[in-house]
Amino acid sequence: MKIFITGGTGFIGKFVVDQLKKQGYQLLLLSRSNKDSEESEIKNITGELGDITKWEGELRKFKPDAALHLAWEGLPDHNAHISKLNLEYSLNITKLLGNIGCKRLIVTGSGWEYGSQAGKLSEKTICKPFDAFTDAKRTLNLLGKKIANENNMAFIWTRLFYVYGPSQQPKALIPHIIRCAKDHKQPNIRNPKAKNDFIYVEDVADALCAILKKCNESNTYNIGSGKLTSVSYIMNYIFDRLHIKKDFKKVQSQSKDAAFNYAFADISKIKKEIGWEPKISVEEGILKTIASQLNTVNQTFQ
């Protein structure tokens, strides 16, 4: 099978590409770098999401059977201008893929599309976008499905919850805590009581590859751990594993309300229809992330 991938050199994309390569797929990656891959099963085309005319010919020549659109330029900036551009780029790519006969397109959305709703959230939960980024993602899902349907292409939308792991942007929560622990500094945590659905990046890649292999019709899937983990637990676990004494004051929440309700993914649908569920616990995932970030081995922290 021939697969076209945007964002294949990014945080999540690198794990997806590695797994698909091992499974023997023929891959074409859109990349800003003009460095050619030394691996015969991976081809690169140099270009930007917004410059389709410069690489459209190479994509048509490749004739992908399926595609994964993982790229979203400008992150972590979620402003209206960047979100609008990414929406336009993504819709244009969807149109192009449908036009050249691609049969399936998998796109990454966000668990933030559900807004501030609490508890277990299923794919049937009504989305409540709250900013330009979530508005753009929601619009891409709605319009992308219509464009794909007009071109007889399956459009598969995935809502990723709190993805973490090696090579995540340094300002993200877990890399920030690891760096602070290493430097014996207090992490800048606004609300240690907050809880999120943390899902390790390798598990996310597993889910996307499983969907690619098993899903042939337009659909929507949550990808998360299916449970909540508190920020304070993660912070304490990281400091404990690095054998560093937490001799600083606890960061106080800006909220006076001691009761917090948070959202997590209902993953029963992807378990039933795709046969996927996360394999890596948050503890194991943190150890892998520490090892990568500090350039050492997991056993050091056990």
Give tens-digit pLDDT for 166-197.
Answer: 989 988 999 999 999 998 888 888 788 889 99
The total number of structural domains in the chain stands at 2
Residues in Cβ contact with 255 at an 8 Å cutoff, skipping those fewer than 6 apart? 191
Asked if residue 123 has pLDDT above 60, the reply is yes
Q: What is the pLDDT at residue 297?
A: 44
In this structure, the answer to whether residues 181 and 206 fall within a common structural domain is no
Distance separating alpha carbons of residues 302 and 300, to the nearest angstrom = 6
Q: Is 285 part of any domain?
A: yes
In this structure, the answer to whether residues 73 and 115 fall within a common structural domain is yes
Residues in Cβ contact with 51 at an 8 Å cutoff, skipping those fewer than 6 apart? none
Main-chain phi, psi angles of 300, to 5 degrees? -60, -30
Q: What is the pLDDT at residue 39?
A: 60
Average of pLDDT values for 273-290? 97
In this structure, the answer to whether residues 62 and 108 fall within a common structural domain is yes
In this structure, the answer to whether residues 154 and 256 fall within a common structural domain is no
In this structure, the answer to whether residues 215 and 295 fall within a common structural domain is no
Distance separating alpha carbons of residues 270 and 159, to the nearest angstrom = 11
Q: Is 236 part of any domain?
A: yes
Q: Is 268 part of any domain?
A: no
The CATH code of the domain that includes 32 is 3.40.50.720
pLDDT tens digit sequence for 223-255: 999 999 999 999 999 999 998 876 555 444 444
Least confident residue range of 131-140, 281-290, 291-300:
291-300
Nearest to residue 175, comparing CAs of 292, 278, 77, 263?
A: 292
Q: Is 270 part of any domain?
A: no
Highest average pLDDT, of 113-127, 250-264, 286-300, comes from 113-127
In this structure, the answer to whether residues 171 and 117 fall within a common structural domain is no
Predicted structure pTM score: 0.90
Place of tokens 């076209």: 4
In this structure, the answer to whether residues 234 and 96 fall within a common structural domain is no
The answer to whether 209 touches 275, Cβ cutoff 8 Å, is: no
Q: What is the pLDDT at residue 104?
A: 97
The CATH code of the domain that includes 178 is 3.90.25
Q: What is the pLDDT at residue 247?
A: 57
Q: Is 269 part of any domain?
A: no
Distance separating alpha carbons of residues 169 and 50, to the nearest angstrom = 23
Mean pLDDT of all residues belonging to the chain: 90
In this structure, the answer to whether residues 142 and 259 fall within a common structural domain is no
Distance separating alpha carbons of residues 20 and 260, to the nearest angstrom = 40
In this structure, the answer to whether residues 218 and 102 fall within a common structural domain is yes
Distance separating alpha carbons of residues 192 and 197, to the nearest angstrom = 14
Asked if residue 291 has pLDDT above 80, the reply is yes
In this structure, the answer to whether residues 136 and 6 fall within a common structural domain is yes
Q: Is 66 part of any domain?
A: yes
In this structure, the answer to whether residues 240 and 257 fall within a common structural domain is yes
Q: Is 136 part of any domain?
A: yes
pLDDT tens digit sequence for 17-52: 999 999 999 999 998 876 555 565 789 999 999 999
Q: Is 272 part of any domain?
A: no
Q: By residue range, what is the domain housing residue 174? A: 164-196+227-263+281-301
- Asked if omega into 170 is within 30° of 0 (cis), the reply is no
In this structure, the answer to whether residues 52 and 133 fall within a common structural domain is yes
